[in-house]
Chain A
Amino acid sequence: LAKTTQPISMDSYEGQEVNITCSHNNIATNDYITWYQQFPSQGPRFIIQGYKTKVTNEVASLFIPADRKSSTLSLPRVSLSDTAVYYCLVGPYNNNDMRFGAGTRLTVKP
């Protein structure tokens, strides 16, 4: 079953673009890739979801190469409020193997 691997932590400065990559070598054909953001003492919040190629919304972009074995979450021009933990989730997550990764703790500095 697919397992996700992300960097444990990343640092950035306000105004920079941040790219967080998630590896999921054993992704299944019907799996989607979803990213969530979590602030302390709150539940994760949906950011973006994709299946292949590139997806963009008002807060982020998601790049998925043709082999789908990895994905990159791109946050343009981060601010201090983007300091959070970012989770890459490969699903469908309707099974006992809940494939939330360990998450990437992003710290944005002034």
Chain B
Amino acid sequence: KAGVTQTPRYLIKTRGQQVTLSCSPISGHRSVSWYQQTPGQGLQFLFEYFSETQRNKGNFPGRFSGRQFSNSRSEMNVSTLELGDSALYLCASSPSGGRLREANEKLFFGSGTQLSVL
């Protein structure tokens, strides 16, 4: 099976712009979650989607949004970019067979999109 694919791999934007990142999960995986990773804050959870619905959300401002399509592919959008949004954005998929995440589910991560805001 192909792994989790994230595009683009690198992105450079300027303050005030918006950006859309894409994630294709492993075939058959229905849950997609997004994370922001920075040297100072580590790995932080943004949100999770399951069957086109946002199932969980982290503590990020409304400028960060996402969606999931019927084929489980997901996009996240960041509007009005700030310098502090520079980070590695990671997407992870998991099988998540039911409406609730199983306690022992494993996350499969993509290689991430490195976003630089100038």
Residues of A within 8 A of B (CB): 30-32, 34, 36, 41-46, 49, 51, 87, 91-96, 98, 100-103
Contacts and interface: CB of A to CB of B under 8 A. Distances in A.
B48 A94 contact: yes
A100 B57 contact: no
B92 interface: yes
Interface string B8-36: 00000000000000000000000000010
A46 B101 contact: no
A98 B44 CA distance: 7
B58 A91 contact: no
A87 B35 CA distance: 14
A46 B108 contact: yes
A93 B111 contact: no
B42 A41 contact: no
B104 A51 contact: yes
B114 A41 contact: yes
Sort A-B residue pairs by CB-CB distance and give the 3 closest, nearest first: A43-B109, A98-B45, A94-B101
Contact of A96 (B56, B102, B107): B56
A46 B106 contact: yes
B82 to A, nearest CB: 21
B104 A98 contact: no
A41 B58 CA distance: 23
Contacts of A100: 42-45
A96 B57 contact: yes
27 contacts: A30-B103, A31-B103, A32-B103, A36-B107, A41-B88, A41-B114, A42-B111, A42-B112, A43-B4, A43-B90, A43-B110, A44-B43, A45-B109, A46-B106, A49-B104, A92-B102, A92-B103, A94-B55, A94-B101, A95-B56, A96-B45, A98-B44, A100-B42, A100-B43, A100-B45, A103-B42, A103-B43
